[in-house]
Every structure is written in structure tokens, then in C-alpha cells.
Amino acid sequence: MSATTQTASDAPATGTVDAGEIAKFEAMAAEWWDPKGKFRPLHMLNPCRLDYIIAQVAAEFGRDPDQPRPFEGLRLLDIGCGGGLLCEPMARLGAIVTGADAAAGNIPVAAVHASQSGLDIDYRHATAEALADAGEQFDVVVNMEVVEHVADPLAYLTACRRLLRPGGLMVCSTLNRNPKSYMVAIVGAEQVMRWLPKGTHDWRKFITPDELFALLRGAGLEPVDRKGFVFSPLAWSWSLSDRDLSVNYVTTSVKPVD
Amino acid sequence: MDERIDMLIVGGGLVGPALALAAASAGLRVRVLDAAPAAALADPEFDGRAYAVAAASRRMLRALGLWAGIEGAAQPILQVKVSDGVAGRGAAPLFAHFDADELGEGPLGHIVEDRFLRRALLAAMAESPLVTVETGARVIGQAEVPGGVEVTLADGTTRCARLLVGADGRGSQVARRAGIGRTEWAYRQTSLVAALEVERPHEGIAQQMFFPDGPLAILPLTGNRVSIVWTEDTTRAAAVQAMDDDGYLAALRPCFGDFLGQIRLAGKRYAYPLGLSLATRITAPRLALAGDAAHGIHPLAGQGLNLGLRDVATLAQVLAEAHRRGEDIGAADVLERYRRWRQFDIAALATATDAINRVFSNANPLLRLGRTLALGAIEAAPALRRRLMREAMGTAGDLPVLLQGRAL
């Protein structure tokens, strides 16, 4: 989930690997995909993230999400793909999915799990900048909880814009910066609940929705939607909110056609 | 992994096929496995069994397009009378009375014979391009495989899917093989079940009378027929079941009373020993349980099938939402949503049904006075009565959309 170390020169982690390595990757994949394990917070948030992405993509490209494989033929890139928690659902919905992660170790892990699931996903050890420099273009770029980790958000979002074909759509989520988000994301999630390892987030790098909209515009994108991800302790689940963007939130922007 | 199948259901009774059709309505590809030969499934003999189909269950059957084929054989329940009986003296003077007109939401439920439900489900499965039924298919093994689950049949062949559902009844072998234990207790009671022809019209009234040895339910069937569920302690039930038809009717009459005039048997007589059987968990990796495989409750409130259909509506909705999101329908977090949604409902109803039975199956005069007063109080308190009626109709609580009569 981290895209902090953005080096384009490392070779993609594909090719032949020995059986011991595969067993290790399988164990790590099991860890990524264990809803009660290390990545529990992501598993809990995932349905809500998927609902948002699906609704935005369906609306933008005129697809009916009730049809089988509604995203057939759409090229989608997930930046910071981790174990593939977003890539696999998108591939099941018919998208041609590329998953990129700056952490080399995630790539074979995600690939092993996709093959167990019978899905064809192109996983690459690469950064957004490297993919953009290679001239890759996508209909959809999914960019979830990455921007608060990068050194230069504007340069990063500019690379994301280059990765979109004209008319393409980017979904970008991050964390708001205010006293409440400090209490919830740092004190609550890292120190009290221990949902996340200490030091996962640097609160000072969190971005307010207005700042993110300004950055997106600065990168040459047109922001079209923003919603909050709100956790309800009573239902023990996340839901989308039109008004409450105080901690986790998500945006959609499009790349202008001209 | 069989790429063409999303879900394998073991058990071709009522809950399994209902789940297959509900899931197929959301675009899932389903295979139903049943050990019984095709002929036995296709042409069930009338075995006297009938179900109280609650209003919410009926709405779900309608949303799945099944109700039109069942309605003609369904008897609406217009009133329910619950009374405390004294053996040899019939119903006590105080009784609780539930009238559909009081709620203004249509009949309280319908009584439908098992065979008509089965036929409607089989016909619909035969028409669905997404549902395959395999008869004579006895499952002898099951195992998790990468990305799915594989079952082995007695003939040595295997079937794969992303999710396995055990709808194979209270003796569920699917649950046993998954290492899921059961909490079971027997009631030392047996239900005698038979259909009767009666002289006077039943007017759509269902009767539930509580006698010291157990309850007697008189459920209206179409025409001048009723189905009885007559529960006695096991020794007495065995003695009654061993009598000839005249002896049986003579033993029944003091409880049944004469409000429907002359009675005679309209079919075979059956005996079902009663017990509560709850699975300790309703999910396991790549596995979910539904219906009696998850929870066999005492049948006195007529809620067994309704509870099973609530499982179906809940599981189908959880799976439909996961499928629409592109999630793996057999993944642990998807199954956890089903478990969380169902667990409270199952525990509450099993406990309530067991408690009602323990209190009412008792000849202690103090308890008898207490419950007679309680039933009288229900009669006197319309708000409480309407609440109980809604609960029995299955329309209270956080309802899955199918039970609200909407499609997935």
C-alpha cells in the first residue's frame, strides 16, 4: 500500500521462481487475504471502496453494473495494489487490470493469489512515474490511500494524469488533515486499536479535500466528485457519506478530452 | 476450479432449491446436489406435512416468481387462535386471538403442503439456465482447494465451486465434515402429523392449543381439510401411532374438540420425534449452512421453514452484493457478513420457541394459571398482540430485500 520509494529502475519481479519461493509467496498471499489478519482494516474498508469505484466507473462509461462483467474491455490501473484486494474484483467485473506496486515483494504475492483465483492480472513492480514514462495509458486509474505517502503529491498526480487516456477517470482517496483525523487515524487506529502499525501514517502529510482538489486541478485533472468513508462502530462497517469527509474520503476526477 | 459454477448446494429439499433460485436471480451459477433419485424428488408423495408460510416468506416466493404456481394450493390463514387446553375439556376459556383484519396487511400467512412447494421449486429450477440439478449424487467428501472448494461424490467424481452450501437438514453431513459441532437436545416428545377431512368449514382459522404433554396445531388446508401437528410425550405418541384409524381418531377427539364437526383421516399418519439441533457455527472456510442444517427448531410456531427462508434471503443478498462488487463469493469476509446478520435471529427464535414449549408443556397448576393469564393479557393488549403477529409474520427487524418482496 505504500508508494513512498519511487524508483523506476528496479527490474519487474516476474519470470521463473523456485518452489520454495512460491510457498513463501502463497503464505504471504494468505496473510494479505485473511480478513482477520494484518490487513483487516483494508478488508473492512474494501466493500465501501469497491462500491464507490464501481458506481463512478459505471456512470462515466455508461455501463450497467447489474450486467455480468460490466467493465468488459476497460483498461484499469491500480497504483499501490498490495496483495490485489482491488485488482481481483475489478478483473472479475471484466476489466483488463494492471496492478502496480513500488514494493517489489507484493508483486509475486499478488500474482500467486490471482492465479489461485483463476484471474488474469498484469502485476508489475513499477511506479506511476515509470509507467507514465513508458507511455502506458488506461481508461481508469485507481489510486487509493497512496497520495498521503508520496514525497511530492503534485508530481505524483501529474504522472497519474499522464497515465489516463483523454476522457479517462481517476479515483483517488486519502485522509483529511484536522484534529479529528489525528485522533481517529493516528491515536485511534495506530495507538489504541492497533489496526495499523505505528508510523504507518504521518498526519502532517494528510491532505484536506480542498487541497486535494487544488492539486488535482494543478495536475491537469478535473475533479467531479468527493465523498466520505465513514466507519460506524455499531454496524462495524464502513459506508459512503455525502457530508462527512472529516477523516477518510475519496474523490473522482476526469482527464479533459482536449 | 470449475469456472462455470459459483456455488454448490448440497440438499434438494426446500431451502436448497430456494437458495439456488434466489442466487440465480442475481446472476450466480449454481449446482444443486441431492442423493435422492430423480423420481423421488420429482414426485413427492403426500406425506401430510404442511408449512405455515409467513407473509414475508410469501413476498419472497413472489419476488422469485414462484408464488403464482403455489397460490392455488395455498390456504390463507385469516385468524390464529392460541389457547391453553385441558385434556378432556378442550380449550380453556381465555385464549389469544390474532386476526388478519386487525393488521390490515393481508392474510397472516398461508398453509402450503410440502409437495406443492417442492413441485414449484423443481419446475423453476428446470427452467433456470443458471441452475443445474444433479440427482442421485451422494456427497462423500469435501475439501478446500486454492480459490475454492471441491466435493467428491460416491462415484468418485468431483465438483468444484467457489462456495459450498450445506442445506442437507439437521443431520447435515456437510457440517459434520467441516468439523462443525451441534448443540442438540431431544424433547422426549413426538409430533403426530396427519391430514383430516372435517365436516364444517375451518374459515381459515389456525388453532394452536397447549396441552400438558405438548401442543396441538390445527392448520387449515384447501377445501374442507386440515393438517394436524399433534405433539405428545414419546411413549404416548408411540401408543397412539400404533392404534388403528378409529382408535387414533378416538384418542384425538378430546383434544381436537368438536368445533369442526365430524373428522376423518384424509391420508397417511406420520410421526416425527422432536428435538432442537443448532449448529455451533453457520460458516466455515468456503462453507455456509442454511435451513435445518444450521438450526432445526421445535416446529410448534410453524417457523422452521420461515427461518430457513430467512437464511436464504440473507445469504442470497450477501452473495448478490459480493458478486456485483466482483468479490470472491466464498471469501471469509463475505461469509462473515452472513454469519453476523443471521446469528442473532437464529438464537432468539430457538430460545423463544424452546421456552414457550417448556412453559406450556407442563401440568403444574401454578404455571397453568400463569400462562392462562398471560394469554388473556395478550388478548387484552392490542399493541403487544400486533407486535407478536408481525414477528410471526416475519416482517419485524432488519429484513433482507427478498423478504420485503423486492428482487435482488
Provide DSSP, B191-245. EEEEEEEESS--TTEEEEEEETTEEEEEEEETTTEEEEEEEEEHHHHHHHHHS-H
Give the minimum alpha-carbon distance from A241 to chain B in angstroms, rounded to a whole number: 19
**What is the chain B residue with the closest CA to A55?**
B325
Give the minimum alpha-carbon distance from B278 to chain A in angstroms, rounded to a whole number: 25
What residues in A contact B321, CB-CB < 8 Å?
47
Cβ distance of A89 and B325 shorter than 8 Å: yes
Sign of the CA dihedral running B277, B280, B284, B289: positive
Alpha-carbon radius of gyration of chain B: 21
Q: Which carries the bigger pLDDT value, residue B315 or residue B272?
A: B315
pLDDT at B302 over 80: no
Backbone φ, ψ for residue B156 (5° rounding)? 90, -10
Q: Answer yes or no: is A196 within a domain.
A: no
pLDDT at A115 over 60: yes
- Write the residue in B1, B27, B332 that is nearest to A68 by C-beta: B27
Q: Average of pLDDT values for B169-182?
A: 95
Q: Answer yes or no: is A189 within a domain.
A: no
Cβ–Cβ contact B199 with A under 8 A:
no
- pLDDT tens per residue, range B222-281: 999 999 988 888 999 999 999 999 999 999 998 888 889 999 998 889 888 887 888 989
Q: Answer yes or no: is A192 within a domain.
A: no
Question: What is chain B's mean pLDDT, rounded?
Answer: 84
What pLDDT was estimated at residue A14? 40
What pLDDT was estimated at residue B93? 54
**What is the chain B residue with the closest CA to A90?**
B326
Q: Answer yes or no: is A193 within a domain.
A: no
**Closest Cα to residue B80, out of B96, B103, B59, B104?**
B96
Question: What is chain A's mean pLDDT, rounded?
Answer: 89
Interface size, chain A vs chain B, as Cβ–Cβ contacts under 8 Å: 43
pLDDT at B61 over 90: yes
Q: Answer yes or no: is A113 within a domain.
A: yes
Q: Answer yes or no: is A186 within a domain.
A: no
Question: What domains does chain B contain, in order, with CATH numbers?
Answer: 7-46+114-184+276-362+400-404 (3.50.50.60)
- pLDDT tens per residue, range A57-104: 999 999 999 999 999 999 999 999 999 999 999 999 999 999 999 989
Amino acid identity, position A37:
G
Q: Average of pLDDT values for B323-341?
A: 94
CB-count exposure of residue B294 (10 Å: 0-12, 13-18, 19+): buried
Q: Which run of H or E residues covers position B159? A: strand B158-161
Report the residue of A26, A64, A115, A116 to disrupt the B interface, i.e. the one with the largest count of B CBs within 10 Å: A116
What pLDDT was estimated at residue B189? 84
pLDDT at B358 over 70: no
pLDDT confidence band for B333 (50 / 70 / 90): very high
Report the residue of A57, A66, A69 to disrupt the B interface, i.e. the one with the largest count of B CBs within 10 Å: A66
pLDDT confidence band for A12 (50 / 70 / 90): very low
Number of domains in chain A: 1
Give the minimum alpha-carbon distance from A133 to chain B in angstroms, rounded to a whole number: 31
Give the CATH number for residue A237: 3.40.50.150
pLDDT confidence band for A255 (50 / 70 / 90): very high
- Please state, for a pLDDT cut of 70, what percent of chain B lies above it: 78
What pLDDT was estimated at residue B284? 97
Q: Average of pLDDT values for B85-101?
A: 61
Angle, vertex CA B226, rays to CA B222 and CA B229, nearest 5? 135
pTM for this predicted structure: 0.86
Report the residue of B3, B324, B339, B344 to disrupt the A interface, i.e. the one with the largest count of A CBs within 10 Å: B324
Cβ distance of B326 and A36 shorter than 8 Å: no
pLDDT confidence band for B217 (50 / 70 / 90): confident
Q: What range defines the domain where residue A120 resides? A: 4-176+204-254
Q: Average of pLDDT values for B308-322?
A: 95
pLDDT confidence band for B214 (50 / 70 / 90): confident
CB contact at 8 A, B241 and B386: no
- Give Cα B151 distance to the centre of its chain: 27
- Please state, for a pLDDT cut of 90, what percent of chain A lies above it: 66
What pLDDT was estimated at residue B368? 57
A49 labeled part of a ligand binding site: yes
Q: Which ipTM was obtained for this model?
A: 0.86
* Rounded distance between C-alpha atoms, residue B299 and residue B193, angstroms: 12
- Least confident stretch, A56-60, A150-154, A194-198, A221-225: A194-198
- pLDDT tens per residue, range B369-390: 555 555 555 555 566 666 665 6
What residues in B contact A33, CB-CB < 8 Å?
331
Q: Average of pLDDT values for A225-235?
A: 88
